[in-house]
A and B are shown apart, each in its own frame.
Chain A
């Protein structure tokens, strides 16, 4: 049963530390998304890639966040330096085709920044 895999599932860190979240999309999916979920803002799209190329990262705070796809099996989201307001659940999702809207989500990485 193909799934999107995210690591770590939980991360507690102190303000100022670097945080890296990783995602393995479903094999064969050419589009990868990073979403952030908070109680206040709900689900927000941070960035997405098609065929490993960044298509849109307008939802991402550029000064501290960066997203990359080093290869087709790995997407990373990095926060440096982390701040308490970054505490959230970060979801990776992948899609077989870039334009269907049918996204397959991972279980999320719950980040707590103290």
Chain B
């Protein structure tokens, strides 16, 4: 069965620090997608990124970057120069089965607090 583990439950940093959120997954599928979602205090989850297992290149989007390593089944998320607005719960997710990319299994989430 698909499994997503986010071992860190809460992280607190001071603004401008870099922070890495870890995600480890288990799947028997040979090809798959991985996702990160953000849940700000307003409540709704917001899609951040989708990554195909074929592509292990790091992805960068502004202050956000993602490091996908198939060998260690990890898909870590780094926020550079964190800001107070980054405070949220972050979820890593994996499709529940191959071919059903929208039926997502989410990790338990990491609560990130960025202090001024």
**Which A residues contact B (CB, under 8 angstroms)?**
4, 31, 33, 42-43, 45, 48, 56, 89, 91, 93, 95, 98-108
Residue pair B108, A93 in contact (C-beta under 8 Å)? no
Give how many A-B residue pairs fall within 8 Å (CB-CB).
Answer: 55
Residue pair A45, B44 in contact (C-beta under 8 Å)? no
For the complex, is B102 an interface residue (Cβ under 8 Å from A)? yes
A104 and B44 alpha carbons, distance in the complex (Å): 8
A102 and B37 alpha carbons, distance in the complex (Å): 9
Q: Mark B11-53, 1 if CB is under 8 A from A, else 0.
A: 0000000000000000000000101010000111111001000
B102 partner, pick from A31, A42, A89, A91, beta carbons under 8 A: A31
A95 and B101 alpha carbons, distance in the complex (Å): 11
**Which B residues contact A (CB, under 8 angstroms)?**
33, 35, 37, 42-47, 50, 91, 93, 95-96, 99-109
A99 partner, pick from B35, B100, B105, beta carbons under 8 A: B100
B residues in contact with A98, CB < 8 Å: 102
For the complex formed, measure the closest distance between the CB of B47 and the CB atoms of chain A, giving whole angstroms: 5
Residue pair B104, A91 in contact (C-beta under 8 Å)? no
B45 partner, pick from A31, A48, A100, A103, beta carbons under 8 A: A103
